[in-house]
Amino acid sequence: MTDTESGIRKYINSKLRGALFFPDDFNHLGTPTAVRKALQRLREQGLIKRVTHGIYTRPKISELIGEVMPTAEEVAQGIAKRDKIKIVPTGSYALNALGLSTQVPLKLVFLTDGAARTIKVGKRTIKLKRTTPKNLLAKGKISSLVIQALREIGKGKATTTEINKIVSLLKQENIKHLEHDISLAPAWIKEIMQQAIEKE
């Protein structure tokens, strides 16, 4: 076993199962070629699994189903953390994340300030779409999702049930974040979001 392989094995074993690993995590342990070869050997030995190109994990273990691989959502967050970029869920993924749709999208679309790219994770796809800084200024996790979900539904198309659910969710948002994010939304979305404050 090489020093690089030994170092990588030790590092991986020190992390919780389910953590994501990128070749760049091991730059301090050897050359890119040595790291790539070590990761290949550790895969062959069964210590790690490849999630997608250039991303590895030591899967969590479930008593019911055995190995559990990271979700596409976790992979997207891992890439954002590694690349120090912002990502905002959009479209049907935003609807699903808020519980406004039970359909689990196979394609997760995120707005980002990083490079546009598409990543395949099992049967699902992560698409990062470059956008203007203004679209990434929202501070609240819920309010950010709400703005994107309503854009997906369309102006004047949200049902009373959907609006009530959105208002209920927004009441759980940090009030300062909510007030900040309302100011970023288009006028018709502002009207809906404002109800979460007016009904306090």
Q: Please report, for residues 52, 55, 85, 133, the alpha-carbon distance to residue 146 in angstroms, rounded to integers and kept in the order given.
A: 30, 30, 21, 18
Same domain, 125 and 174: yes
Same domain, 122 and 194: yes
Same domain, 50 and 106: no
Distance separating alpha carbons of residues 24 and 77, to the nearest angstrom: 16
Helix (H) or strand (E) holding 24: none
Which DSSP symbol is given to 32? H
Distance separating alpha carbons of residues 15 and 112, to the nearest angstrom: 28
Domain end, chosen from 66, 89, 120, is at 66
Distance separating alpha carbons of residues 68 and 81, to the nearest angstrom: 21
Average pLDDT over residues 118-123: 94
Give the per-residue pLDDT at 2. 84
Same domain, 111 and 146: yes
pLDDT per residue as tens digits for the range 145-174:
999 999 999 999 999 999 999 999 999 999
Q: Using an 8 Å Cβ cutoff, are 91 and 70 in contact?
A: no
CATH number of the domain within which 47 lies: 1.10.10.10
Domain end, chosen from 37, 66, 95, is at 66
Domain end, chosen from 66, 95, 116, is at 66
Q: Which domain holds residue 149?
A: 72-198
Same domain, 127 and 189: yes
Q: How many domains does the chain have?
A: 2
Left (φ > 0), alpha (ψ -120 to 50) or beta: where does 158 sit? beta
User: Residue 93: pLDDT above 90?
Assistant: yes
Same domain, 79 and 96: yes
Same domain, 58 and 86: no
Confidence band for 199, pLDDT divided at 50, 70 and 90: low
Name residue 64's amino acid. L
Same domain, 21 and 98: no
Same domain, 83 and 99: yes
Same domain, 50 and 138: no
Same domain, 142 and 123: yes
User: Residue 200: pLDDT above 70?
Assistant: no
Same domain, 62 and 147: no
